[in-house]
Structure 1
């Protein structure tokens, strides 16, 4: 079975070749032992055990929202939390079917500028047999793709006409950008010098809001707690924060737009289409340097759909 997992710094997305999807916050932390508190006990935990290793017990996703911090490490291969979050998502896809496969092919991705140093180590880290809550499966093959490049594969429609196409992927922590040249055969090629990553994303806007909340109300909220918030609770009172989040997001969008206008100055007016994907698309305005943007449908899933497509069709 082929499965693709995108462990973003905000959300983890998973997609199988059968079309099954999983989506949950990229939050994971070791689960502490609870007393027998019955209905007051902590949320359901998840146990991960790799072959020949001791089991690890976690709270994951919404169950970890109050205890966990966002995963920010750039070295995903050496981070056991990122590795285990990846296989938890893969397990939810694989075990959703009635006939469990003995092995799976897993596709994952990393930001564009991390790809060279992370690809082989990440492949090695994810290979092997793993058990999730007592259900085992073998990851026989791991394919690693650069974010953004994968997204453009899912963004470009069939029979795309030749020309230059740009893509911006605004994530929780990073923003990837690239330009491809589509040839007469409809095949895209990355244009050197016009692709890269910035360590700037929705987290920056939420960090600004969190700092303002702490300064004004003397209460601490982590940025990830504000990701979907419209209100917060302060000493028994509900406080609206949606306007502040929109303002901070707009400032982020203006900053990214200015950077794109600089790095793409010679090529921006020549683009046929500028695609926008990722969880942070709402931060951008409708134009970049006069070039209209096109938000890709299902934009939060563009990378993971690209990973799955890049693996090619299954062989019967």
Structure 2
């Protein structure tokens, strides 16, 4: 089952929420609050007026208007709508550009019910995450920036709401399933978490010393620069080999979904089949991820009682990772595992 994409939710929560957990991933943004779960592709594009006045608008994606305290106003397309734009911008660098990151975060928070309309708008508490490879270097700067972030936001023509954040918590990505408390600890042994994202795979190892508390082992936690993007690159290379033309990034998701079910891409008057390349790449990438994780866990790997698979790539590489990692099972909701955990923790602290 592919868990890289879920239907966009455009219903604006009528109840103002006090806390929201947001996972701004390289592939998808996910947000969880008491009233909603939101997911959309991590893509932004300039807003352009529809010359057909919405005659063929399919209402996927989001039109976002942000008004800053200094009067500056920006209007962008975010998510599916941006993905279809020729001027689409995605987060490809290690450190997401602040303007891009914050726009997607404000959009997700708004759709999840954050924000206030009153003359003295209330703040919302926020929890976010960072890949382990960048956590130590970026967490303090990210926390400080988000604590000062404030704007009036409107999504899809909805009522303008002021969004700002009171308490901001930053967690290491991949710990969501453990933070959410959905996992029964082994009682006395090791618990692993492997979070397969678009550009990175985070792995964590926890020890239960009989006190029912997960104690992280820092030397066995880290990030691999491997994820769903390697599958995209493999399919793009095969597409170019067959056609002589590059595969546009906007087509990556369609190429993956088509290859999974043996559906070709129609290009230049003929059908391009990527199924065989997909199967080989999925097997090779999953094997590389599993070997990297097991090498990091070293001699403890054989004593791991349970490995939780999370992230959008967990289901994409599910079969291979279930066979390769000790006691592996997919999280109850792998796409939202981190956001759920962040939300649980910010509510507990509050």
TM-score by length of 2: 0.80
Which of 27, 44, 48 is equivalent to 2:66? 48
Counterpart secondary structure, 2:110: helix
Distance 1:236 1:288, change over 3 A: same
**Does structure 1 residue 7 correspond to structure 2 residue 24?**
yes
Separation in structure 1 between the aligned mates of residue 349 and residue 180 of structure 2, nearest angstrom: 17
Please say which of residues 126-135 and 179-188 is displaced more in the overlay.
126-135
1:111, 1:176 within 8 Å by CA — same for their partners in 2?
Answer: yes
Shift of 1:144: 0.8
Counterpart secondary structure, 1:267: helix
1:2-81 equivalences under 5 Å are 2-16=19-33, 18-31=34-47, 33-34=48-49, 36-39=51-54, 45-52=63-70, 54-66=72-84, 67=86, 68-76=88-96, 78-81=97-100
- 1:259 corresponds in structure 2 to 292
1:14, 1:93 within 8 Å by CA — same for their partners in 2?
Answer: yes
1:70, 1:224 within 8 Å by CA — same for their partners in 2?
Answer: no
Distance 1:89 1:130, change over 3 A: same
Root mean square deviation, CA, Å: 2.7
2:43, 2:90 within 8 Å by CA — same for their partners in 1?
Answer: yes
**Does structure 1 residue 108 correspond to structure 2 residue 128?**
yes
**Does structure 1 residue 86 correspond to structure 2 residue 105?**
yes
1:179, 1:191 within 8 Å by CA — same for their partners in 2?
Answer: yes
Q: Name stretches of at least 5 consecutive residues in structure 2 with no aligned partner.
A: 1-17, 155-159, 259-263
Separation in structure 2 between the aligned mates of residue 214 and residue 155 of structure 1, nearest angstrom: 45
- 1:248 corresponds in structure 2 to 281
Shift of 1:94: 1.4
Shift of 1:164: 0.8
1:126, 1:142 within 8 Å by CA — same for their partners in 2?
Answer: yes
Q: Name stretches of at least 5 consecutive residues in structure 1 with no aligned partner.
A: none
1:112-123 equivalences under 5 Å are 112-123=132-143
- 1:129 corresponds in structure 2 to 150
**Residues 103-143 of structure 1, C-alpha deviations (whole Å, 9 max, x = no match):** 21111101012111111211122233211123222222211
Distance 1:243 1:24, change over 3 A: farther
Distance 1:101 1:23, change over 3 A: farther
Please say which of residues 160-169 and 42-51 is displaced more in the overlay.
42-51
Shift of 1:53: 5.4
Counterpart secondary structure, 1:313: helix
1:34, 1:41 within 8 Å by CA — same for their partners in 2?
Answer: no
Please say which of residues 130-139 and 263-272 is displaced more in the overlay.
130-139
Tell me the matched-pair count. 311
TM-score by length of 1: 0.88
Separation in structure 2 between the aligned mates of residue 104 and residue 95 of structure 1, nearest angstrom: 6
